[in-house]
Amino acid sequence: MKKLLLFLLVLPVLYSSPANAQTANSGDQITLVCKIVGESGNSPAISLYEQIGMAYQEVATGQREEDGSYVIRLPKSEPRMYSIGFNDQQNGRIILGSEKELTLWANIQFMQKGRTVGSDINKAFYDVQTQVEALASTSDDLRNALRQARATRNAESIKEASQKRVQTNHGKILG
């Protein structure tokens, strides 16, 4: 019984230790080159994080190269969402897993605005983000128009603003 208990206590440690992590050969790796604008050279490394609930776990670290860029290498896997930055609080989102090599361009002050080159899946992700922001902006504009129409207490303008809002939302959701 004591041996089983000891085994159960040691098993998680064995699988979580970096020494036992699977190492990929160069053909099965993803190379992420990070070009950071506005970085003064004080940061020796950039980190790749995986979000676990409300916390972040560091997955990989990229060292600063002579040309000022940071290079992160990690094993190829299914595409997954990661956060990248110099700390776990100020970071940007990126999807890694399907490309062999890609480049991230970002400003150190606005990591969340960073963009990748050479990644179709990240381009699609940015397009979806843009569509969501546009939909939110349109919804806000229509909500304000309806609020103003209600403030005037004009039944015709209220009806018109409500219909326009319903048509726009219906077109965005179903179209």
The answer to whether residue 3 sits within a structural domain is no
For the chain, what is the domain count? 2
Is 102 found in the same domain as 24?
Answer: yes
Average predicted confidence (pLDDT) for the chain: 80
Lowest-pLDDT choice from 15-29, 73-87, 130-144: 15-29
Task: Identify each DSSP E strand in 16-168 by its residue range.
Answer: 29-37, 45-52, 55-64, 70-75, 80-85, 91-96, 101-107, 110-117
For the segment 108-134, the average pLDDT, to the nearest whole number, is 89
The answer to whether residue 7 sits within a structural domain is no
pLDDT at 73 over 90: yes
- Domain containing 46 equals 18-118
Residue 59, CB-side half-sphere exposure with 13 Å CA sphere: 19
Query: How far, CA to CA in Å, does 133 sit from each of 13, 17, 83, 123, 127?
Result: 43, 41, 20, 15, 10
pLDDT at 53 over 80: yes
Is 144 found in the same domain as 113?
Answer: no
The answer to whether residue 4 sits within a structural domain is no
pLDDT at 174 over 70: no
pLDDT at 9 over 70: no
Is 109 found in the same domain as 78?
Answer: yes
Is 94 found in the same domain as 44?
Answer: yes
At 46, list the tokens: 């950039």
Is 55 found in the same domain as 99?
Answer: yes
Is 131 found in the same domain as 111?
Answer: no
The answer to whether residue 8 sits within a structural domain is no
Last residue of a domain, one of 72, 92, 118: 118
Is 107 found in the same domain as 150?
Answer: no
Last residue of a domain, one of 118, 137, 157: 118
